[in-house]
Amino acid sequence: MKKAFVIGHPIAHSQSPLIHQSWIAEHGLEASYEAIEIAPSDLAGLVARLRGGEFVGGNVTIPHKEAVMGLIDEVDPLARRIGAVNTLVADNGKIWGTNTDYIGFLANLDAQASGWDEALGSAVVIGAGGASRAILAALVDRGVPRIELINRTLGRAQALADEFGPTIVPGPLSEIGSRMAGAGLLVNTSAVGMKGTQFNGLDLSPLAQGAVVTDIVYTPLITPLLAQARAEGFASVDGLGMLLHQAVPGFRAWFGVAPAVTETLRNRVLAAL
Ligand code: ATR
């Protein structure tokens, strides 16, 4: 019996068990995937259980994504660059960690808006937190020539630009209108638009015709930003796909099977939100 987990604090809201358990059933595997509530003081103990062979690996979510890096044997270069680990794999008593948000973000755009990066002149990214780091790395590696990084706190955007390279141009929220001019991709990585937060409405008209608008928030699935993008004729990509696609590499590493992100799975998770 191969066992995997998702750890966090809190963890009750996580959709990861539903995703992985669906794949386990689909492939008829002798395996389990469970959510385990782990307080920060218990993180080292959980890592010791993983090292001891109780589990084949697992996912890591808030607030452990940074702290776990200091407790494992190897952090891959991508996770080190992003500064967070969300997937652990046990391999012969050693534990390595990676970050699958990067690939989840790209795979979701490729699936829902194929060709999004062809002839893309510039992209606008809103937010400069942890999620933004994975997305900036992904966009830089895909060769997006210019990334306007807009954040409420300009200093945080400036710090990310210094870190992720000269194609990233930081700016304050007040400049978002001018920074959107001609952009072919708009990504919201900030909490704005999530259930319970305020969204003041953006003028999307400066974006390039046919631009893709995506939000990493998926509660609600159609955020106010995505609703507005749809109404104004832009392509919209919801954040649920990123959640599904980021789960693929872990499942493959733990159980040796490449799972598929299907409409059935998407609907199952959607019903549980
Ligand atoms: P995550 O890891 O999900 O990216 P985070 O590190 O807390 O979360 O980052 C949240 C992002 O949302 C930040 O860019 C934050 O802006 P600040 O850097 O200025 O704090 C942004 N954010 C959160 N609430 C916001 C709001 N009400 N208006 C504008 N930006 C907001």
Alpha helices (H) along the chain: 16-26, 43-51, 77-82, 101-112, 130-141, 154-164, 176-179, 224-231, 240-246, 248-255, 263-272
What is the distance in A from the centroid of ligand 1 to the CA of 129?
6
Would you list the domain boundaries of the chain?
2-99+247-272, 103-239
Q: What is the pTM of this model?
A: 0.95
Which fold would CATH assign to domain 103-239? Answer: Rossmann fold (3.40.50)
The rounded mean pLDDT for the chain is: 95
Structure tokens at 236: 């919209």
Atom in ligand 1 nearest the alpha carbon of residue 189: 4
Ligand 1 site, residue 87, Cβ cutoff 6 A: no
The predicted pLDDT at position 26 comes to 98
Mutational pocket test of ligand 1: of 152, 175, 197, the residue with most ligand atoms within 8 Å of the beta carbon? 152
Per-residue pLDDT at 198? 56
pLDDT band at 12 (very low <50, low <70, confident <90, very high): very high
Closest by alpha carbon to 199, among 187, 207, 211, 191? 191
List active site positions.
65
Chain Cα centroid distance, residue 103 = 8
Helices (H), 6-153: 16-26, 43-51, 77-82, 101-112, 130-141
Does ligand 1 come within 6 angstroms of the Cβ of 129?
Answer: yes
Centre of ligand 1 to C-alpha 109, Å, is 22
Of 187, 170, 173, the C-alpha closest to 235 is 187
Mean pLDDT calculated for residue range 3-19:
97
Q: How do residues 101-143 score in pLDDT, each as one tens digit? A: 999 999 999 999 999 999 999 999 999 999 999 999 999 999 9
- 2-99+247-272, CATH topology level: Rossmann fold (3.40.50)
Does 83 sit in the ligand 1 pocket, CB within 6 Å? no
